[in-house]
Chains A and B, each alone.
Chain A
Amino acid sequence: MTTAALDHGHDAHAHHTSLPIDNRKLAIWTFIASECLFFATLISTFMVYRDSTGTGPGPKDIFEVPLVTGGTAVLLFSSFFVVMALDGAQQGNRKKLLTWLSLTVLCGLFFAGMQVYEFWHFYHKGLGYSTNLFGSAFYTLTGFHGTHVALGTLWLATVLKDAIKGDLPPKKALNLEIAALYWHFVDVVWIIIFPVVYLMSLGR
């Protein structure tokens, strides 16, 4: 069974919980609260330095809004897809689960691929990691978000592997639910990053 990075101790033995929420679900919410501060600090740092372009390229020289808008749409849809997959898992509807979960993983791969392409493209347009502070802050923020997307995709792919093996019955749907909660969080952070980093930098 997949518990991913989390351990579910002996609550598996029908241990009662004081609050009407599973330990693992409470833990992932707690972790997400902590992650909020992590991204808040990275986003603040970017906002401090977004105009520090020095002699290197700035937002207007490199950003390609259509591409990243497409990536954003894909990521947003993936949040919907994973909800459908979870519904399938909870109903014991194997076809629904496998279809939507595969689509979610594909979306994750697409988004991560888009970011790799974007980084490569920006690098060739002259924006290295240490070219200017705008670049450093941009790569650090979106790089950490991309790492979260990649790890989330790996996590969801692991749950997908279990589902294909038939090891994700409705009573284990929580294994998908906590991965999905993390996935929604990664998505929500991007909803902030996209306007703050791309749209607002261009509108200035």
Chain B
Amino acid sequence: MATTVLEPAHAHVAKRSVLVDWLTTVDHKKIGIMYGAWAFLFFLIGGVEALIIRAQLAKPEASLVSPELYNQLFTMHGTTMIFLAVMPLSAMFFNFFIPLLIGARDVAFPRLNAMSLWVFVLGGLFLNASFLWGAPNGGWFGYAPLSSRQYSPGVNMDFWVIGLQILGIASLAAGVNFFTTILNMRARGMTLMRMPMFVWTTLITQVLVLLAFPVITVALILLMADRLFGTSFFSVAGGGDPMLWQHLFWVFGHPEVYILILPAFGIISEILPVFSRKPLFGYSAMVFSSSFIAFLGFGVWSHHMFSTGMGPLADSFFSLATMLIAIPTGVKIFNWIGTIWGGSVQLKTPMYFSIGFIAMFIMGGLSGVMHAVAPADLQQTDTYFVVAHFHYVLFGGSIFALTAGAYYWWPKMFGKMLDEGLGKLHFWLMMIAFNLTFFPMHFAGLLGMPRRIYTYPGGLGFDIYNLMATVGAFLLAGSLLVFMWNVIKTWRSDERAPADPWNGATLEWTIPSPPQEWNFAEEPVVAEKDPVWAMKRAAGTRQLPEPALVDGKGIHMPGPSWWPLIVSIGILVFFVGFMIKHTWAFPFGPVTIVGFALTVFGIFKWAYEPVDAHATHH
């Protein structure tokens, strides 16, 4: 394959407009960037919802929002942050970096990958469109019978039940795709035990997605049947058992927690070695502890349900299983510390956020183990103590790690370095504001403040904690503005990032920043872990020569396609059809049939689309 040096002006300029290019792309890097952009938009929407919540709770007996709107805000805040922000922000890194880290030119199924993106985007827009009619208001875990037609009569929970089914399709398709990609598309010589840690945690995350999402899909179908077709799966009056909802939800819900945190573990495990100039400490222990966490993650769901009175046997089992998870998690934390220990530590912004992650995640983990003690949990459940706990693992954990990953991989994604000074300002503001927001919630919770209340009487001892949390939340928003300013400022600058700004250890640093469409001009061969450090050792240098741009002659890449987007629209129409009132005897109407027909038509056209029809490179 040719490796001619490319003239700057001579690019493969396709004759498609930029919009069509992005709508039909199957390039994992563009798909990754779109995942990131949409997820960040949804993250900002969820953040604004949080600010309104905090403004309402700043002082007792406030009336900024009505109780009804408040219910919508906290439900949409949770749903958005989990399904539309943290999961797709992780997906951004899966998409952009998994092929690069394993030395592949794309994912196993590029068009399926595009479909995952569009189903996620349309599902997210659908969920947020609910604000026009009445947004979901039954909490992010939609407990039946509160979420049933009887107690939630509006369209609110219909949006939730249907929106999450749409989003589930995106996750499952991506799960199949990335599981196959990682197992089957690795560079020659990259055995499983030579894979970068982020690839491992991504693989394990996909296993969790594949096995947990079908369970909530069924739960959502049953709830949808209750709400729309008159069944009573979760209605006591009709003989149904609301506990079934809780079991099905949490059989999904607890693995979901690890779906949110395992990618973060992987990102941190990439960053710490690079900025400590030492290989990851205890690599195989990390692999097995991640696997063990995933395995145990399916056996602890009922610790979310101690207060339902399951009896001493079930309580004991789930208490013990939950405490057991602290062991592999502790292994990981000690390994991270062992990685830094004795290293030549480079305190760059990604490292700041990574160390911040370890500290915050330990605090969230410790309050998590406290919940494992069933009698203590009875005091803590449904209070602000729980709110504090899961924000320490979700924000202090996932968001800190995702931010670390953004600073670390930004130069590779966009060819620009983010500013170090603004990055560190971002870190300190976020660190202080985060703790100011969520630490006082522990005390408010222990003093008995329930979660999900739209206001509270003064003088119960938690007025001051609420005020602190509100001030912290607005500061936290300020830290995000610093990040956005950093992005805008460096975007405008002409300064280009080199291919390997951090002395990286993994394959993505051997190719130009940003990478060319085919990633690797020549498919890499790997002989050990941290392959790029090995190359540098062999060459006796710390800095490999800047890779040349190539013209890509002879490299076959899959062509763009409209069908993933069209199938995604079909899926959306299919589900929206269930919300439209019709007079048929069947539980579906004409819109659902149109959506189904469009989906099947799209799949046929997709299946018969010649893969090379639009290939731009010969």
| B is a partner of A | yes
Is residue B608 contacting chain A, with contact meaning CB distance below 8 A? yes
Complex interface: chain B residues within 8 A of A45 (CB): 218, 222, 233, 244, 248
**Contact assessment for A54 and B214 in the assembled complex, using a CB-CB cutoff below 8 Å:** no
**Contact assessment for B611 and A5 in the assembled complex, using a CB-CB cutoff below 8 Å:** no
Is residue B146 contacting chain A, with contact meaning CB distance below 8 A? no
Is residue A125 contacting chain B, with contact meaning CB distance below 8 A? no
Complex interface: chain A residues within 8 A of B230 (CB): 129-130
Complex interface: chain B residues within 8 A of A17 (CB): 184-185
CB proximity of A162 to chain B, nearest CB, Å? 9
Chain A residue nearest to B111 (CB atoms) is A7
**Contact assessment for A140 and B222 in the assembled complex, using a CB-CB cutoff below 8 Å:** yes
Near A by CB (< 8 A), chain B positions 171-230 give 172, 175-177, 179-180, 183-186, 188, 190, 210-215, 217-219, 221-222, 225, 229-230
**Contact assessment for A41 and B109 in the assembled complex, using a CB-CB cutoff below 8 Å:** no
**Contact assessment for B240 and A10 in the assembled complex, using a CB-CB cutoff below 8 Å:** no
**Contact assessment for B219 and A41 in the assembled complex, using a CB-CB cutoff below 8 Å:** yes
CB proximity of A42 to chain B, nearest CB, Å? 6
Q: Pick the contact of A38: B105, B175, B185, B214 (CB < 8 A).
A: B214
A10 to B185, CA, bound (A): 11
Is residue B368 contacting chain A, with contact meaning CB distance below 8 A? no
Complex interface: chain A residues within 8 A of B244 (CB): 45, 48
Complex interface: chain B residues within 8 A of A19 (CB): 183-184
Residue of B105, B109, B587 with most partner-chain A CB within 10 A: B109
**Contact assessment for B109 and A8 in the assembled complex, using a CB-CB cutoff below 8 Å:** yes
> How extensive is the interface on chain A, given as a class?
35 or more
CB proximity of B46 to chain A, nearest CB, Å? 28
Complex interface: chain A residues within 8 A of B558 (CB): 9-10
Is residue A16 contacting chain B, with contact meaning CB distance below 8 A? yes
Complex interface: chain A residues within 8 A of B611 (CB): 8-10, 12
Contact A5-B607, Cβ < 8 Å, known A34-B172, A34-B213, A136-B232: yes
The stretch that binds B, out of A25-33, A60-68, A180-188, is A25-33
Complex interface: chain B residues within 8 A of A11 (CB): 108
List 4 tightest A-B contacts by C-beta distance, closest first. Answer: A38-B214, A41-B218, A130-B230, A37-B214
Give A contacts to B, CB under 8 Å: 1-13, 15-19, 21, 23, 26-27, 30-31, 33-35, 37-38, 41-42, 45, 48-49, 52, 54, 129-130, 132-133, 136-137, 140, 154, 158
Question: Mind listing 26 A-B residue pairs with CB under 8 Å?
Answer: A4-B603, A5-B606, A5-B607, A7-B111, A7-B112, A8-B109, A9-B107, A10-B105, A12-B611, A19-B183, A21-B184, A26-B179, A27-B108, A27-B179, A33-B211, A34-B172, A34-B175, A34-B210, A35-B214, A37-B211, A37-B215, A38-B214, A38-B217, A41-B248, A133-B231, A154-B600
